[in-house]
Structure 1
Amino acid sequence: MAETPLKSAPGEQPQATQAISDTVREMLATLRTGGAQAAQDYARRLDGWEGEIVVSPERIEQAIAETPQSLKDSIGWAHDNISRFAAAQRATAKDMQVELRPGLVAGQKQIPVRSAGCYVPGGRYSHIASALMTIATAREAGVPDITACTPPNAAADGIPSPMLYAMQLAGASRILTLGGVQGVAALAFGLFGGRPADILVGPGNAYVAEAKRQLFGHVGIDMFAGPTDILVLADATADPETVANDLVGQAEHGPTSPAWLATTDRALADTVLSRVPQLIATLPPANREAATAAWRDFGEVVLCADAEEMAAYADRKAPEHLHVQAADLPWWRDRLRAYGSLFLGASTTVAFGDKAAGPNHVLPTSGAARYTGGLSVHKFLKTVTWQEVGDDALPDLATATAAISRAEGMEAHARTADIRLDRAATPAKQAVGETG
């Protein structure tokens, strides 16, 4: 049977996406020609920031001193997990070579990009974990030059000290007090003494996402990121209180953050539907406002007949975060096919992955998990290939190449094969003449 909706999501009211696109295009054009001065002007006008853009070593030392040791310990613990996971990923990306036929050798090399631009969101929350996830992963991939930027925080008179501590710990080569389109442009164009980025990574608001989209091609990007989302799959073994808290935990990200539940248990669904608004009501004002809108406009609860129907629903949704709170976890791990990151069991929570567990939290949203995974060391690596042709392989390779080229109508291609075939044959002819 088809899933039975118990709460549908009306979704977002139509937005002026064209207006965002036009604004970003105009800003990027100004920043491309106006450079650092234009970026400073935008920072002053949009964020009220009059201070230095490039964070000084003295300010970083001050931030290290100001960050409480207990918080340093937690950031360091998370950084160690994230770095170790990224290093293990890096070990899976290997150089190799293979002799395809006698004399025909081909291979691949893993080459890190030379520079990365890491955007660390600031806005509603100070995303310390995002600094670790982007910068440390680039560092483990072997990127030699990493510029990071984050918006100024009025309450902190710039970048909050714990954020600066995390950025320097993760290995940023330079840090810019700059957000929004101007921050993305500074990374892409190499403003304020930085090297132009080969790739831009990190989440941000709609303007940041659009800036990355418009710059794609000129630079690489990790992905097109939209609002964060979560899907919980729960059966009768799940605890409804835990499920409700996990949904609220992601809804607080922002007013457009979807939170979905698919379950085979009607009693659990009814309890969750009752508890989510109650839990949201206990949040601090800003969090409560965001979560209320997210649950009202994007919250969805469906009742499924069995585990397979839940799995099929999950594959269609292709959520960023997929949390299974159900029996037989190995079955779910093997069955599910479309998600950014998978969280197995009630002892796991998306917040662990968001902050400290190790796997990267920069993940595909808006259904993009159908075709891509999240940020990893592989995003910072170029898998390039090489080939070398010996005498044994040349005749057959040249013959096949010439034949295919002429069938395609590409005569000049064919002649590049012919000339090598002729040259290879010449010494043999000469040898026959000499011995005759």
Structure 2
Amino acid sequence: MSNESGIGMEATLAIADKVERFVRDVVVPYEQDDRRDHHDCPTDALVTELREKARAAGVLTPHILPDGRHLSQRETAIVLARTGLSPLGPLACNTAAPDEGNMYLLGKVGSDEIKAKFLQPLIEGQARSAFFMTEPAAEGGAGSDPSMMQTMCKLDGNHWVINGRKAFITGAAGAHMGIVMARAEEGACMFLVDLPDPAITIEHVPNTIDSSMPGGHAVVRIDNLRVPADQMLGQAGEGFQYAQVRLAPARLSHCMRWLGACIRANEIANDYANRRQAFGKTLIDHEGVGFMLAENMIDLKQAELMIDWCADVLDTGALGTAESSMAKVAVSEALMRVADKCVQVMGGSGVTSDTIVEQVFREIRAFRIYDGPTEVHKWSLAKKIKRDWKKAHA
């Protein structure tokens, strides 16, 4: 999986077109399926049914080829945007967070044993995963600043013992495996764990504005969790390094998927504006509405170009931290404008669940926060500007 040399644009577009047909023809009708939990998140039964259909259609985990090769980031961007044409598309095609990011990380740095035990079931769509990094803010734990990590780990014989609390852990409820970050004397560490485990207790799953990810975003307690030493990723103290390997591409993957969702929401708004009559003409012929949809066209294209640029940087082998921060800010803010205008154009219809437009609006609002709020990324970029200035004037 670590080979990201790519397969070429013609082959990539063939995969993407196949994915798009599947999402539009098979997945979209499931958007009104009532198999949702009390947080309005899709149930595992619904996800399993969709993945079986994706497997039969040959579009399950389409960004990873049968021989284990991973599409380049530029190629992945094209495919993941097509899966995002429905909020259920990434779940059906097995390109959703946090699984997609976890697959990327394990493919990059996992041992052969870890890949066989933990990665392969994810690729096959047989398991869900979680990434345990964020901690409760009230306890001074890690959030946007991972150096504040309070979860501790200590070596005991051939096992590591982990204690702490985590918050906003997407998909923890119902996950089959997890990647847990904790702090040792040597620094941050990452561990692969089987789930469920009696040492990991889900304390609370809050209701949140978004509802696309099974299991919600849980608060969990970790009490004396024992993990075999060979289930640590790399060496003690290398956890932050591996977090960066995962987080830069993961930020971009969110951009890819939500670009697809906003393209679809904009299609729905365009259709509405061209059919709806008001004050003697269709809405699209009213300048106020027409200009909003024109602005959507511009924002969607700018988001696409920003994603392509950042993907090209990552494909060079660069860590791409600054580039992914810029992409995350620019794309999430642009897509928020698109989603908001789609709701506005559709009026009362835009705030109902009759279409996916209102859900896309909610999902994009949450996207502006997770994987680093806009302000944190701007602050990080400002620090880079200062470092670069000092270096240039040394």
TM-score band by shorter chain is under 0.3
Greater relative contact order, per chain length (Cα 8 Å cut-off, separation 6+)? 1
Task: State the TM-score, normalizing by the size of structure 1.
Answer: 0.24
Task: State the TM-score, normalizing by the size of structure 2.
Answer: 0.25
Largest Rg, 1 or 2: 1
